[in-house]
């Protein structure tokens, strides 16, 4: 285990340390928008000679600079982009079908994409948009890609969560905010708790998969909060800084994801939550409740209309 890695470690440093676990392997990264953690993750992986980096998200044309950047690092890498709108069950099914048609195996699935909606919005499937995009879409995508993951070499699923989950309570009975006032931050926090619970349940029911959830750190330069007004962003930033949280660069923000994806020692920590490149305690009482993880799993199966397996 990379005990020397921490807050300041960059993604490239992680890839350099674990090149043998990148070379020749196939990686899927969701939400690889330029100037985001997903792009930083994909570009760092490119330096380790993977066989393929598959970029999946709502706007494939926007990922062209990332794909070009990967090819500039190593033209031998197979780079493909796929249209997968995680807020649409139909889109996730179509994108996953194309992924499976063109790729026989996947070694690592990095569920990186995330969203925040400042106002209460629902997906095309009638699901609160943060919950739909940050959890339900990734739950379905993971389920649909299982055949390729099971053919992978020591397959892993890495789910990006957030330290924001510490304020969540796991109110999966009211995921649509029908019986309580909507709060964009609480909605986001609940969706990030769902990432933790999904990881935990997948670890015990995933049959051969290693699943880890990752807090990438606080990075203000991403587009994650683009729907939040400037005044609210500044209030949130001031509050986070008052807690003594240090900001990370995009390159540093990719590091914990890549340790989770590559370090073979973490196979012994299946289901764990990670921060600053190490296993860390979860941030709230709800994140330790196995009953809530099971409740989320059953709700997720209901929302996608079929069992996970």
In the chain, what are the domains?
A: 18-238+253-304 (3.40.50.720)
Look at residue 134 in the predicted model and tell me its pLDDT. Answer: 98
DSSP structural state of residue 100: H
Residue with the bigger pLDDT between 235 and 138: it is 138
Q: How many CB atoms lie within 10 A of CB 167?
A: 17
The catalytic residue positions are 188
- As given in the structure block, the two tokens for residue 134 are 């940050």
Span 195-215, pLDDT tens digits? 999 999 999 999 899 999 999
Residue (of 143, 144, 151) closest to 104 by Cα position:
151
Angle value at C-alpha 52, between 34 and 208, nearest 5 degrees: 105
d(CA 249, CA 10): 9
pLDDT band at 231 (very low <50, low <70, confident <90, very high): low
pLDDT given at position 1: 60
- d(CA 227, CA 216) in angstroms, rounded, equals 20
Structure confidence at residue 239 (pLDDT): 52
Does the pLDDT of residue 238 top 60, yes or no?
no
Nearest to 296 by CA among 197, 182, 229, 217: 197
HEC string for 143-195: HHCHHHHCCCCCCEEEEECCHHHHHCCCCHHHCCCCCCCCCHHHHHHHHHHHH
Tell me if 112 sits within 8 A of 160, measured CB to CB.
yes
**Contact of 99 with 82, CB cutoff 8 Å:** yes
Q: What is the pLDDT of residue 225?
A: 46
Tell whether the model's pLDDT for residue 47 goes beyond 90: yes
């Amino acid at each position: 285990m990379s005990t020397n890695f921490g807050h300041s470690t960059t993604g490239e440093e992680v890839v350099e340390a674990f090149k043998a676990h990148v070379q020749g392997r196939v990686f899927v990264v969701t939400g690889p928008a330029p100037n985001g953690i997903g792009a930083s993750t994909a570009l760092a992986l490119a330096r380790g000679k993977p066989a393929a980096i598959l970029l999946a998200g709502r706007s494939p044309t926007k990922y062209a600079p990332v794909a070009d950047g990967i090819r500039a690092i190593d033209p031998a890498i197979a780079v493909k982009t796929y249209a997968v709108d995680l807020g649409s069950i139909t889109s996730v099914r179509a994108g996953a079908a194309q992924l499976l048609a063109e790729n026989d195996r996947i070694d690592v699935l990095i569920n990186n994409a995330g969203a925040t909606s400042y106002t209460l919005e629902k997906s095309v499937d009638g699901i609160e948009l943060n919950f739909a995009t940050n959890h339900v879409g990734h739950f379905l995508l993971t389920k649909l890609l299982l055949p390729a993951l099971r053919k992978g070499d020591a397959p892993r699923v890495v789910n990006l969560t957030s330290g924001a989950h510490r304020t969540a309570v796991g109110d999966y009975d009211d995921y649509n905010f029908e019986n309580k006032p909507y709060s964009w931050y609480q909605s986001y926090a609940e969706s990030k708790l769902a990432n933790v619970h999904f990881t935990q349940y997948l670890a015990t029911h995933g049959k051969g998969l290693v699943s880890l959830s990752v807090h990438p750190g606080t990075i203000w330069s991403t587009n994650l909060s683009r729907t939040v007004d400037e005044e609210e962003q500044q209030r949130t930033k001031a509050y986070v800084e008052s807690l003594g949280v240090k900001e990370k660069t995009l390159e540093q923000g990719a590091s914990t994801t890549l340790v989770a994806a590559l370090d073979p020692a973490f196979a012994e920590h299946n289901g764990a939550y990670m921060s600053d490149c190490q296993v860390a305690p979860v941030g709230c009482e709800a994140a330790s409740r196995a009953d809530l993880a099971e409740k989320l799993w059953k709700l997720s199966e209901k929302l996608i209309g079929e069992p996970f397996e």
